[in-house]
Amino acid sequence: MAAVRLTLFPVTATPPSSLCSFNPLSRCPHLAYLSSSSSSLSGKILSPNSNLPVSRPLSLLASALAIASRASASYSDVSVAIFVKIRVLFFSRERVDFATNYCTVSMYRLNEEKAEWIVYVTDVGQQQHFNMFFKAARKAGWLPDSDKTYPRVDHVGFGLVLGEDGKRFRTRSSDVVRLVDLLDEAKTRSKTALIERGKDKEWTPEELDKTAEAVGYGAVKYADLKNNRLTNYTFNFDQMLSDKGNTAVYLLYAHARICSIIRKSGKDIDELKKTEKLALDHPEERALGLHLLRFAETVEEACSNLLPNVLCHYLYDLSERYTSFYSIHQVIGSPEEASRLLLCEATAVVMRKCFHLLGITPVYKI
């Protein structure tokens, strides 16, 4: 994959003074716009190099389309409309207050800022609008005919978050649920579970708080990302904070157990890498090793198709394969200890890479 700078920004009529940027696999969760929670979600706030000029001449839009005869366009002093297969797309409209709409923002990103890859993250209800805009931009020559070459534009649509009643997730007073409140509640529940296990007596208050935050925040993120983004899903704290099944809690605990095994061995992994070789003599070892080799292609698939759930499924399968290996084969004290410790380390490293791409903080003891 070509190296590109991917910036996600809210698709608003007038771009804000700061843009919300995430790693390529992160998507804005269904629940709310993330600017107020960017630090909790491993986001970064970037200031753009330039602001969108609202006085952009409309003749530029019209001439690019009409003169080139690549699209059917009509324009006046205040607006431009493009006709795409009978449907009308208002490409630009300058009102009395000189506000601009989605399409003029997109045109500016492509033509002026020379964006290599623009990803629009909205609900699936806006799919038709973006399909029409992409077709119009290709007719105008602003985009290549193929959607696999650069500059590239994609619409990442997502479904709804539902309550347990099957309706759109809202508070009891029918207000929109704030993401920051969900994160705080997840952290509180995670901390309570750790205290019930006696971790408050084993760890410092700071360790307890950081672990509760990592597990709670990770649970909310993973529950959102593990589903196909086009489908609706039901928000349920009990399910997402369970330590069984395909949850962040289960995966974080699995990673912590691997780290515990390596610590208990007392071996220097860096030194083992220099002197020992990885031997995959048993079926469970080979299955785990082969799955580790699929990491790069899985990341490529998830990035190319903008589907974080692909990486989530890979991560869960990796944890399951490790469990199958460890439940049968002894690591510490076995004749194959060195090789198996290296296999444990390789598994932990790949798990951490997955966590990083998903915006989840790993835990090393539990």
Written as tens digits, the pLDDT of the chain (366 aa) is: 334 333 344 444 333 333 333 333 333 333 333 444 455 656 554 444 444 444 444 444 444 444 344 444 444 444 444 444 434 444 444 443 444 456 667 777 777 778 888 888 888 888 888 888 888 788 777 788 876 677 888 888 888 888 877 787 776 666 677 888 889 999 999 999 999 999 999 999 999 999 999 999 999 999 999 998 888 888 888 999 999 999 999 999 999 999 999 999 999 999 999 999 999 999 999 999 999 999 999 999 999 899 999 999 999 999 999 999 999 999 999 999 999 999 999 999 999 999 999 999 999 998
Q: Beta partners for 156?
A: 121
Burial of 69 (0-12, 13-18, 19+ CB in 10 A): exposed
Q: Give the span between the Cα atoms of 199 and 32, in whole angstroms.
A: 33
Q: Which two tokens stand for residue 165?
A: 């009643």
Angstrom CA distances, 271 to 243, 268, 275, 276, stand at: 34, 5, 7, 8
Strand (E) or helix (H) holding 93? strand 87-93
Q: Given this model, what pLDDT does residue 327 score?
A: 95
Q: Given this model, what pLDDT does residue 42 score?
A: 61
Residue 354, sorted as left (phi over 0), alpha (psi -120 to 50) or beta, turns out to be alpha
Q: Where are the alpha helices (DSSP H) in 267-307?
A: 269-275, 283-293, 295-305
Q: Which two tokens stand for residue 336?
A: 């194959």
Q: Given this model, what pLDDT does residue 203 score?
A: 94
Residue 263, φ and ψ in degrees, nearest 5: -65, -45
**Best CA proximity match to 66, nearest among 3, 141, 10:** 141
Residue 233, φ and ψ in degrees, nearest 5: -145, 155
In the chain the domains, ranked by start, together with CATH numbers, are 35-158 (no CATH), 179-358 (1.10.730.10)
CB-based contacts of 246, cutoff 8 Å, min separation 6: 226, 312, 316
Q: Given this model, what pLDDT does residue 102 score?
A: 62
Q: Whose structure tokens read 């983004």?
A: 229
Q: Give the span between the Cα atoms of 44 and 24, in whole angstroms.
A: 13
Q: Whose structure tokens read 């099944």?
A: 245
Q: Give the span between the Cα atoms of 27 and 48, in whole angstroms.
A: 20
Q: DSSP class of residue 7?
A: B
CB atoms under 10 Å from CB of 53, counted, come to 12
DSSP, collapsed to helix, strand or coil, labels residue 162 as strand
Q: Which two tokens stand for residue 275?
A: 């002197």
